[in-house]
């Protein structure tokens, strides 16, 4: 499972979660630091990423267009990187199940 972390999330999550989600990336690493949501969406779709964001824009796009790509919407507000990391670690089985289910396009994590 490859996660693509949106601009609003720390880049350090890629390294911190590499043991569970290898080949993940941050939009900056993908050359999309200044890209709009459509460009990020298309990149994720073409490269097989699941978008992870705490911004409702991708949630709305997911509801409108469906997958691919799939979207994980973090509903955690402003919190430390360690809290986001732990949340994704604690829900890693659910995340992998979500990715494997062709009927799902959006997972809300809070």
Predicted TM-score (pTM) of this structure = 0.95
Choice between 44 and 76, residue whose per-residue pLDDT is larger? 44
For residues 93 and 21, the answer to whether their CB atoms sit within 8 Å is: no
Distances (CA, A) of 46 to 10, 40, 92: 23, 10, 23
95's CB contacts (< 8 A; 6+ apart) are 1, 21, 50, 72, 88, 107
- Each residue's pLDDT tens digit, 25-74: 999 999 999 999 999 999 999 999 999 999 899 999 999 999 999 999 99
Sign of the C-alpha dihedral computed for residues 60, 66, 32 and 13 taken in this order: positive
Instruction: Using alpha carbons, select from 45, 87, 36 the residue that is nearest to residue 6.
Output: 36
């Amino acid at each position: 499972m490859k996660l693509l972390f949106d601009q609003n999330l720390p880049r350090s999550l890629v390294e911190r979660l590499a043991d569970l989600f290898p080949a993940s990336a941050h939009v900056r690493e993908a050359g999309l630091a200044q890209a709009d949501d459509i460009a990020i969406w298309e990149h994720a779709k073409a490269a097989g990423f699941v978008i992870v964001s705490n911004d409702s824009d991708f949630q709305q796009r997911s509801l409108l267009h469906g997958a691919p790509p799939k979207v994980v919407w973090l509903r955690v507000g402003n919190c430390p990187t360690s809290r986001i990391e732990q949340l994704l670690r604690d829900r890693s089985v659910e995340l992998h199940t979500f990715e494997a289910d062709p009927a799902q396009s959006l997972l809300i994590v809070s």
